[in-house]
Structure 1
Amino acid sequence: MRITKRTNIAMRVLMFCGAHEGVLVTKAMVAEKCNTSESHLAQVIYKLAQLGYLYTQRGRSGGFTLARPMAEIVIGDIFREFESEQHNLECFADGDNTCPLVKGCRLRLTLKEALEAFYNRLDKETLDNLVCGNTALLELFVMPSCHSTRPLRTGTDRG
């Protein structure tokens, strides 16, 4: 199974924010602990904020944090948002499908059912399930003392 790099990064960002719940974190912090570039992060953070999963605060003491409780962030929803643009198989593509078997192919239906089973399983998981009590993950996300985390300021700078 393959998922896109953007989906993978989105999950890393959300898990990192969940591990630092209530604290503004920075792209640099996430990039360091999640082994990804800040430019890739910027695109994913922007989309997560647009979808209402992250609260962002601009400026010198800016950063981002979860915009809703972890128990309300359903993993299947994240995957649908980030994977919906991707067609792994030509037969799922509406416009550029040139497969001559599309009208009589039962494999397409089987694959569609398998994909739904995949999403149905992910719908049973929340960010809370992935982060809370996961000592190994929390230990990976511990920040060295040279990084200061910023307490969440209340304000209206969302976006």
Structure 2
Amino acid sequence: MRVTKRTNIAMRVLMFCAANNGRLVTKAEIAKVCNASENHLAQIINQLAQLGYLHTQRGRNGGLQLGRPAEEIHIGEIFRELEAPVPLAECFADVDNTCPLTEACRLRTALNDAAGAFYATLDPISLDALICDNKPLMHILQPVQPCAAARVQADLARAG
């Protein structure tokens, strides 16, 4: 099974927001840290907001944050929501299925079982579990704020 780019980026957005809990983050921050275009992010952020995973605030002091606590967001749920429209194989597509074996194919059943196992593995994992006690990830996802960076530079200048 291959995860779509949309789901991959959506997970980056959610992890970034979880790592920066308690403040509004901007699309530009996420784009820089998560290596994604702001245009693509806008579409994904909109979808995540419609699904209730994100809360967005427009305006000069706007941004986004998680729509509910990270421990209440489960990865299997996210993947089902975002990957559901993508058929695992041609035989799962309602419109584009041209396979003449669909009705008798055991591979289709095996693929369906495998997809079920994939989601069942992700179901118990919360967004919080992905970031909690993950110092290397937090180091990447919590960029130094400009004012904090300026304070650090000023402290270094005074000490040196």
Aligned partner of 1:34 in structure 2 is 34
The structure carrying a bigger helix percent of its residues is 2
Structure 2 gaps, min length 5: 149-160
Q: SS state of the match for residue 23, structure 1?
A: coil
**Alignment CA distance shift 1:19-1:100 (3 Å):** same
In the TM superposition, what is the alpha-carbon distance from 1:67 to its structure 2 partner? 1.2
2: distance between equivalents of 1:126 and 1:112?
Answer: 24
Q: How many residues align?
A: 148
Any residues of structure 2 matched to 1:2-151 within 5 Å, and which?
2-146=2-146
Structure 1 partner of 2:156: none
Deviations, residues 32-79 of structure 1 (Å, cap 9, x unaligned): 000000001000100111111111110000000001011100100110
Structure with bigger gyration radius: 2
| Structure 1 unaligned residues grouped into runs of 5+ | 149-159
Q: What residue identity is the alignment partner of 1:79?
A: F
Counterpart of 1:125, as a letter, is I
Do the aligned residues in 2 keep the contact of 1:22 with 1:66 (CA within 8 Å)? no
Higher RCO structure (Cα 8 Å, ≥6 apart): 1
Q: What RMSD over aligned residues (CA atoms) do the two structures have, in Å?
A: 1.2
Quote how far apart the aligned CAs of 1:147 are: 6.9
Q: Distance in 2 between matches of 1:137 and 1:103?
A: 46
Identity %: 59
